[in-house]
Amino acid sequence: MKEVRVRFAPSPTGPLHIGGVRTALYNYLFARKHNGKCILRIEDTDQTRFIPGAEEYIIESLTWCGIKFDEGVHVGGPYGPYRQSERKNIYRSYAEDLVNRGFAYYAFDTPEELETIRKQYESEKKVFQYDQTTRLSLSNSLSLPETLVKQKLASNVPYVIRFKVPENREIILSDLIRGEVRVQSNILDDKVLFKSDGLPTYHLANIVDDHLMKISHVIRGEEWLPSLPLHYLLYEAFGWIETMPLFAHLPLILKPDGKGKLSKRDGDKGGFPVFPCNWKSPDGEHYLGFREWGFFPEAFINMLALLGWNPGTEQEILSEKELIEQFDLGKVNKSGARFDPEKAKWLNQQYLRKKCDEELADILKSKLQQKGLVADSSYLIEIIRVLKDRVVFVDDFLIQGDYFFTPPAIYDEPVVQKKVDKNLLLTIKDALFTELNQLNFNNEQEIDEALHRFATNNRVPAGGVMIPLRIALVGTTKGPQLATIMKLLGKKETIQRITNFLEYLFAN
């Protein structure tokens, strides 16, 4: 096999969908598996769709994912520049070469003229296509006299350069995932290769750049599969068939119900992200990212890797090293992969449980500081050990265990009304404070035994004591064992919260 060189080539037209991230990941895994190079190229020739900040977002997102590039717009390399708008002087000569050798032609039709023709076809319930059946009736260098063509060019009449698709050809293509693909050339249109604004279209720039950058494999989404016949014909026209890369077209990522391509609307509707990181659009719209949702990057790429590929085993938790070792394009599915947000969360939970408590404590401490709260690492580690099996994201420690950091600001009034006996508490409160003041808060078992003993000695149901205490400490009836909460909060804080609750209770 020749040196493996793959590229991820997004357009800066908005946030990077997880389908794009998966494409970048598969390119990265393939390159690392074969000791090759992975390149990031920005394809920004369509200036009408350019979104400020999108390129920076792409780089930030891929960096967060841990996808490292050997060459690219942000790291440089021997085949730069890696931003197509900075390579625009390269493409015209290739387009002109195709015209000179009869593989392409100048087309002078204005957008208005083409729109008029399309409407005429629509009125006749037909679909217009600029192809072998129509090209000679339109305004181009194939249909016009040579002198008129030269005159138009000399007068700087706007034109595009279109590829001249050969007639009556069966194009036989090979895809590493889908196998042999056969296409009749007569169904193809004469795509624009070079636009009137002096920039190439995706089709020309893509082929030229892949050739000049010595790309060995093109791994991209299946939405580009219909373009493969044109790209093959372009390689053939340029005389580059011998060095043409091998192609692999990845399946779509589908909605959770499996019906159609996953979109940001599905994320909005289902309450989950479809972008790697938070994105704020130029018009002020905010979209949630997996990073901000609470995903670890290693869990995120593990999840993405399994959307359309599997190692052929039951193993679902794979490190980056294992992904690289086991990745094989031959094991990529042809059919779409359904995104399951619950399975995604489960994966993140597995990674969270594997992390050491000290690492989680450092992350949690940073999050607390952002909220203006301070806690010792030893205290955080104890909380983590109590809640670790209950949470999915690090933020869940703060959400589910909020009472460990701040006393309840409100109490669950319906629960208070239903489960708290004010008269009983009024009778036992003094004895309860005496019991708590005498109690050692260092041992959960001793706390639990003392509370049950207190209930027995005072001839009251255990729940009559336990439930009000839990509400006093937590605000409701949630949380781990009451004795665990009391031990972690400590005697002083526990007694203060009970005092606060009783004041609230008897004031209402």
User: pLDDT digits over 214-234, tens only?
Assistant: 999 999 999 999 999 999 999
Output phi, psi for 71, to 5 deg: -140, 155
Q: Which are the catalytic amino acids?
A: 264
Question: Which H, E and C letters describe 73-118, residue by residue?
Answer: CCCECCCCCCEHHHHHHHHHHHHHHHHHCCCEEEECCCHHHHHHHH
71: left (phi over 0), alpha (psi -120 to 50) or beta: beta
All structural domains of the chain, each given as residue ranges with its CATH number in brackets, are 1-73+251-351 (3.40.50.620), 87-250 (3.90.800.10), 355-401 (1.10.8), 407-507 (1.10.10.350)
Provide the whole-model pTM. Answer: 0.92
Identify the pLDDT of residue 50. Answer: 87
The contacts of residue 52 (CB under 8 Å, 6+ apart) are 282
pLDDT digits (tens, 9 = 90+) for 308-337: 999 989 999 999 999 999 999 999 999 999
The contacts of residue 188 (CB under 8 Å, 6+ apart) are 131, 165, 229, 230
Cα–Cα distance measured from residue 396 to residue 347, given in angstroms and rounded to the nearest whole number: 15
- The sign of the dihedral angle between the CA atoms of 183, 186, 187, 191 is positive
Q: The tokens of 462 are what?
A: 């255990």
Cα–Cα distance measured from residue 154 to residue 273, given in angstroms and rounded to the nearest whole number: 53
Identify the pLDDT of residue 1. Answer: 65
Identify the pLDDT of residue 507. Answer: 87
CA distances from 321 to 94, 130, 309, 346, 349 (A): 41, 49, 16, 21, 20
List the Cα angle 499/500/505 in 5-degree steps.
95
Identify the pLDDT of residue 259. Answer: 92
Identify the pLDDT of residue 225. Answer: 95
Burial state string for 269-279 with b = 16 or more CB within 10 A and e = fewer than 16: eeebbbbbbbb
Identify the pLDDT of residue 284. Answer: 84
Written as tens digits, the pLDDT of the chain (508 aa) is 689 999 999 999 999 999 999 999 999 999 999 999 999 999 998 878 889 999 999 999 999 999 999 999 999 999 999 999 999 899 999 999 999 999 999 999 999 999 999 999 999 999 999 999 999 999 999 999 999 999 999 999 999 999 999 999 999 999 999 999 999 999 999 999 999 999 999 999 999 999 999 999 999 999 999 999 999 999 999 999 999 999 999 999 999 999 999 998 999 899 999 999 999 988 888 999 999 999 999 999 999 999 999 998 999 999 999 999 999 999 999 999 999 999 999 999 999 999 999 999 999 999 999 999 999 999 999 999 999 999 999 999 999 999 999 999 999 999 999 999 999 999 999 999 999 999 999 999 999 999 999 999 999 999 999 999 999 999 999 999 999 999 999 999 999 999 999 999 988 7
Cα–Cα distance measured from residue 65 to residue 277, given in angstroms and rounded to the nearest whole number: 10
- The sign of the dihedral angle between the CA atoms of 8, 324, 295, 358 is negative
Identify the pLDDT of residue 285. Answer: 85
